Amino acid sequence: MFYCSFVLSQTFNERLPLSSPHSLFSGVVVQDDNIYVSGTRIDSLPPYYSIDFLAQFNYNGELLNRQDIGVGENIRKVSFPTLINDENNITYSGVRIDSTRNVVIVNFDAGGNFLWENDYDSYYINPETNFVVSLGLVQDENRNYYSVNNSQLPNGYNNVILTKMDSLGNTIFEKPFGISNKMDVATQIINCSDGNLCMVITQYNHDEALDLYEYQSCLIKTDTLGNTLWTYKSPLEQGQIGFPGGIVEADDGGFVINARYGYEQNIVYPRYMEWEKYIYKISSTGELEWELEVPSAWMSRSQEAWRMIKTSDNSGYVMVATDLLYDGGQEVTTPVSKRGWLGKVDDDGNLLWARNYVGVNSLRNYQVLYDVKETADGGLVAVGYSEDDTADTLALQAWIIKTDEYGCIVPGCQVTNTENPNLPQIKTSLYPNPVSDILNIWYNDPHFDYRNPPQFRITDVSGKVWSEFETDTNDTTLMVSVRELPPGSYFLSCSATRNAIPFVVVH
């Protein structure tokens, strides 16, 4: 039978086209009762003009304000989680996608009002150099900014550039990090508790012809002048560790890193790497303390690991990631799903909970999360983009979710039979009700079998079937668009149960 939970909670799940063919959110910060999100609106045709913006939400998911930055020929894109804040300002760094390939840093006041912007170049003054992007931004106690960037050399190798700027974005120095015979890719920079900086980098070789795959995650600590104080590199004996998207300093001086663990696949040619989510901790002197591999439902070629935070109550670390699942084919008709993922581990490396957010309405459905922060009411807010092949001109939409402290959009999803054995075995809950855009369905079955997945059906009061879908992942949140359903009363039923849950669609 169904177990329904309709507990009031400040959670939401919003997709916003923002009056643009394509839009995405990249970074998020929280101030008082407001949520600020950086993002980009992108044209669908060349030359793909883009407009950056800063959006303001309340805790109910209502868009309060949006300020566009960059119009017309000012081609620019902020598509990575570099948004930071303090009590005085909000700042992000992006990249111009015109011929200059410069990085732009943009500053707002605490209310989200634009104050100033500034450019800085790619360090290598060479017309053949292709500047890539800024992937991390922090500010010190003197309000100087530090940005970690990637710059591609004419020989095809990539170097990491540390840029220091004053409080108005004027460049103080730029310094390269990397070696000449490997790719060096930076993904984040953080302030350390001792006043220094820590950059997280991937160094790798990827030569299919020579069957050479070497991925190592590197942590480089520097002082505020860019002088290297300490370097850690994951040993190859630990495995192929690459593309860490999040790093947090622990209370004991060690570091917890949200990365990817790679497996070389040699069944077909060319060979390639498959990746799983991988979280590990090193001590302040570089010893591996623990490691945790979190497999997806199916092995994937495109796992993504992004930002991580330490919770304010010191109960653990929360991180966002993405699973790419597909049925083995690469044709247009191949079902493909990028699933947003939110998880929490404790300080000993135990996985406390993990949540999948899965779109189910279309053949190809992407839900990607880039950044996560805590909210003042104890919940979590995460941002990215949602894309499906049924949305026509609204294919790529900015996506923001607010969950409770357990990562639940549907309140009560953390309750398990272990905690309360008197609850029904199979649990299905939906939220919100009434619903206008996305119906969130949480499903969990302790005897789940992906080879015989449960079948869901949405019908109206006359019995007409409006939607049918299934889930091949247990303990998951299914995201069903009801945007095209006429207003009225409906029922959600499931092949694994006998009852149906009523809900109402309003527009």
| Parallel/antiparallel/unpaired status of strands 500-505 and 465-470 | unpaired
12-414, CATH topology level: Neuraminidase (2.120.10)
- What pTM did the predictor assign? 0.91
Domain coordinates in residue numbering, the chain: 12-414, 429-505
> How far from each other are the two terminal CA atoms of the chain, in whole angstroms?
30
- What would the two tokens of residue 477 be? 């949140």
pLDDT digits (tens, 9 = 90+) for 262-320: 887 766 556 677 888 999 999 998 899 999 998 776 545 567 899 999 999 999 999 99
What Rg, from alpha-carbon coordinates, does the chain have? 23
| Interatomic CA distance for residues 353 and 74, integer angstroms | 43
CB 419 within 8 A of CB 444: no
Please report the pLDDT score of residue 156 as a whole number. 67
Please report the pLDDT score of residue 479 as a whole number. 92
List, for the chain, all residue ranges whose pLDDT scores fall below the cut of 50. Answer: 1-8, 127, 299, 328-335, 392-393, 418
pLDDT digits (tens, 9 = 90+) for 3-30: 333 344 589 999 888 877 788 999 999 9
What b/e sequence results for 41-61 when a residue is b if at least 16 CB atoms lie within 10 Å of its CB, and e otherwise? Answer: bbeeeeeebbbbbbbbbebeb
Mean pLDDT of the residues in the chain: 83
Residue 68 CA to its chain's centroid (Å): 22
Phi and psi (nearest 5°) for 433?
Answer: -150, 110
Three-state SS at 236: helix
| Interatomic CA distance for residues 424 and 428, integer angstroms | 10
Three-state SS at 238: helix
429-505, CATH topology level: Immunoglobulin-like (2.60.40)
CB 383 within 8 A of CB 399: yes
| Interatomic CA distance for residues 373 and 318, integer angstroms | 9
DSSP result, 258-297:
EEEEEEEE-SSSS-EEEEEEEEEEE-TTS-EEEEEEE--S
| Interatomic CA distance for residues 243 and 366, integer angstroms | 20
H or E element: which one contains 60?
A: none
